[in-house]
Each structure stands twice: as C-alpha cells, then as structure tokens.
C-alpha cells in the first residue's frame, strides 16, 4: 500500500535512516547546527540530483514551491540559498561518502548473483576516471591547465549491475595510474583497465594479491616469446602467447610470465593487444572481458547526462566532493529501487519517471506500469541506456 507517500518519499525509504543517524554522530555533522540538519541537507541535494537542478537559485525556488510536500520527509521550513551555501562549505563531505559506501553494500547484496555472461567465478571490475571541468577563477584549488580547472573522479565499478565500489575524487592533475596504489580488491577477482594504467610494478602488486587483470598493451611493448596456443582466426583472434617482458625496467617491475592475446575486432576492424595474468580462460574470453570495460564509460556518460555534476552548489573542495557523492547516492538509490521492486525498466527511464513525478502519490510499481502499459517482457537489465 502507498498510504499517501510521494515517489520521493518512497525512494528515500531505501536510505538506512538509523545508519545515517549513526554516521551523523560519528562525523558530528549536526554539531553547532540549530535548524538545517544533515538529513535536510541530504534531502535537498538528493532532490537536486533526481530533478537535475542547475544551481542554488533554481534548487531553492523549486523546493520552496513544494514546501507542503517536503514537510513530511524532513524539510520543516523554507530553504534559503545562504543556508545551503553555508552547509556546502561547512558540513564534512565524509558523511555523504560514508552513506554512499553503505548504499554500495546494499546494492551489491541485490546484484551479487547477476550473470555478466563470461562464465567466470569471481567478480569482474572495470576501472577508469572521468574529468569534470571547472572554472579556474571559482575553483583555484583545482588548477589543471593554464586557463582551466578540473577534478577527476576515479571509479571502479562491479560489472554486475554497474555498481561503483571505489570512488576517489582528486584534482585533474593526478595521474590515473597512481590510484592503483589505493585500491584493494578481493582475491580471485578480475580488474579490466585501459592502457593508461600500464605500470608493470603496480600490476605485479595486483598479481601478488591474487587479483587478475586485463589491460591493453602499448605499441612499444618489448617481450620475449615463451610459448603459443592455437587460435580460431574466424573469431577475430590473431595470437595467444606466453611472454616475458624484456626491457630492464619492465622486467624489474613484472618478473613473471604474462599472457599476450592479439585480437582484431570483426565489427570495427580495430587491432587490439591485451596483457593478462589469467592463463586459464579461453583467449576469446579475455577479449570479451576487455569489451565489457565499455560499461564504465556508459556509467560516466549516464552520470553526466542524468545527474547534476556539471554545476556545483559550492566552490570549495568539500562542496564539490559532497555533491559528487550525493550524485552517486542518487544513482545507487535508483538501482536499489529497480532491483527491490523488480521493475522492468532501465535506470535512465526510471530516473526520468522520478523526475517528472517526484511529488506524485503513486507506488513505484504503478508508476512504471502506467509508463509502459502496452509493452511486455522488458529486460530488467542493468545496462545504462543513453539519450
């Protein structure tokens, strides 16, 4: 039964409120605050994400126009731009980061049995970064180039549901490969990355942690051939070899054997060479693992196209990180709601339905049913369909 709850209120029910209150106490997020609580702050920024508000003036006007409907979910008084701006600067972003980590755990529990179709036992992760451009005069701490500022979001997603399991937000100057030093993945898992992460010493550290990896080789790779396996050329495979790195620096970084798989994509004609420490899966599976890396590109496009991560409500690094983490929380709430209710709709369509019906008093199931009245057998799917 709906019991008169709005779509927004139903979505917020997937936030573990008691845990949120615990996090508020841990981070002292309400210390010295008389009216605008951490929960009110989260509601405002979650609303901004779900309805794609483009600035503080826009956000405040839209929220205050719906004041009576916000009262029952925790906003007891009108919201002002100064209040939101002060909260963005002063309330530690670690609260929202910790909430995001909790929602990640909840999402993984729901999507843990998803089959990505590769026939592998352990989870497969994709890692990459996306750059968010900023105005240098407003964000001088994020200096990137001579006339430009930027932050980078370094992300690892679990391909079962495209769930972000690691997020690090840095200035634009931080090189992607350095983030390999910060990650910790479970033994038996596989990490797929592009060649920007090619650092043999860091890859060997992953190997010693019993983490598999698949990465594109650079054109200047120098190696000694050890052995070859036969390949079926009609599938696009060109070579499946065991190699040892031959230059002094690369040998010192990765002294053990590697597998080199050469593949020409039948669809695009593009020639790709992969390096991996996985010797058991078929060579075509190695190529398929790398092909699945595109899901993280779709994740970034989905985030930028469907949530508010281009216009920030504060200029400090704390405000930027808080807004990005709340965007991730909004994304996770969408995934959790879809899986919990078994909704036959893509995350993008569901988010658009939320945006246009956020204060309607209708169940989430009925909302989707009304939107898709004559369609059958929709894939539940976790693909990030783009505009």
pLDDT tens digits for range 305-321: 888 787 888 889 999 99
Contact 192, 293 (CB under 8 A): yes
DSSP E strand stretches across the chain: 124-134, 143-145, 148-158, 163-171, 190-193, 212-216, 223-229, 237-245, 258-264, 271-276
Lowest mean pLDDT: which of 52-66, 226-240, 252-266? Answer: 52-66
Would the pLDDT of 263 be above 90?
A: yes
Q: What is the mean pLDDT of the chain?
A: 89
pLDDT tens digits for range 326-345: 999 999 999 999 999 999 99
Contact 134, 323 (CB under 8 A): no
Q: Which residues pair with 182 in a beta bridge?
A: none
> How confident is the model at residue 146, as a pLDDT?
81
pLDDT interval class at 269 (50, 70, 90): confident
Longest dimension (CA), the chain: 72
Would the pLDDT of 76 be above 80?
A: no
> How confident is the model at residue 171, as a pLDDT?
93
Q: What residues does each domain of the chain span?
A: 7-96+312-371, 195-288
pLDDT interval class at 179 (50, 70, 90): very high
> How far is residue 86's CA from residue 140's CA, in Å, rounded to a whole number?
19
> How confident is the model at residue 374, as a pLDDT?
64
> How confident is the model at residue 381, as a pLDDT?
46
Mean pLDDT over 59-72 rounds to 83
Mean pLDDT over 41-68 rounds to 88
Would the pLDDT of 1 be above 50?
A: no
Lowest mean pLDDT: which of 90-94, 141-145, 373-377? Answer: 373-377
> How confident is the model at residue 62, as a pLDDT?
87
Would the pLDDT of 268 be above 60?
A: yes
pLDDT interval class at 183 (50, 70, 90): very high
Mean pLDDT over 218-236 rounds to 91
Mean pLDDT over 154-161 rounds to 93
Mean pLDDT over 83-101 rounds to 93
Contact 207, 226 (CB under 8 A): no
Mean pLDDT over 216-235 rounds to 92
Would the pLDDT of 358 be above 60?
A: yes
Token duo for residue 302: 């989905």
> How confident is the model at residue 383, as a pLDDT?
52
């Amino acid at each position: 039964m709906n019991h008169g709850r709005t779509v927004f209120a139903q979505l917020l029910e997937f936030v573990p409120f008691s845990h949120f209150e615990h996090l508020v106490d841990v981070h002292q997020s309400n210390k010295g605050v008389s009216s605008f609580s951490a929960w009110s702050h989260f509601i405002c920024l979650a609303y901004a994400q779900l309805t794609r508000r483009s600035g503080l003036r826009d956000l405040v006007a839209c929220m205050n126009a719906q004041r009576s409907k916000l009262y029952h979910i925790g906003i007891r008084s009108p919201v002002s731009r100064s209040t939101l701006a002060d909260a963005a600067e002063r309330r530690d972003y670690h609260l929202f980061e910790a909430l995001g980590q909790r929602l990640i755990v909840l999402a993984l529990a729901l999507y843990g049995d998803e089959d990505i179709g590769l026939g592998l036992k352990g989870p497969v992760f994709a890692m990459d970064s996306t750059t968010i451009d900023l105005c240098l005069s407003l964000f001088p701490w994020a200096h990137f180039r001579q006339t430009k500022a930027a932050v980078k979001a370094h992300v690892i997603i679990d391909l079962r549901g495209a769930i972000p399991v690691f997020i690090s937000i840095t200035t634009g100057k931080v090189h992607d490969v350095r983030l390999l030093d910060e990650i910790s993945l479970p033994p038996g898992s596989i990490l797929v990355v592009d060649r920007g992460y090619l650092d043999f010493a860091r890859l060997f550290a992953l190997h010693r942690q019993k983490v598999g990896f698949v990465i594109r080789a650079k054109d200047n790779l120098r190696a000694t051939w050890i052995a070859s396996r036969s390949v079926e050329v009609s599938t696009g495979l060109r070579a499946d070899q065991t190699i040892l790195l031959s230059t002094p620096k690369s040998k010192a970084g990765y002294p053990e054997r590697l597998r080199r798989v050469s593949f020409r994509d039948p669809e695009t004609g593009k020639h790709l060479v992969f390096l991996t420490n996985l010797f058991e899966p078929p060579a075509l599976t190695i190529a398929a693992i790398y092909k699945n890396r595109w899901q993280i590109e779709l994740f970034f496009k989905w985030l930028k196209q469907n949530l508010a991560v281009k216009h920030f409500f504060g200029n400090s690094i704390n405000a930027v990180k808080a807004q990005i983490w709340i965007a991730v929380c909004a994304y996770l709430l969408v995934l959790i709601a879809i899986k919990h209710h078994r909704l036959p709709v893509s995350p993008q369509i569901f988010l658009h339905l939320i945006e246009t019906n956020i204060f309607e008093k209708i169940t989430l199931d009925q909302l989707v049913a009304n939107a898709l009245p004559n369609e059958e057998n929709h894939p539940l799917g976790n693909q990030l369909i783009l505009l």
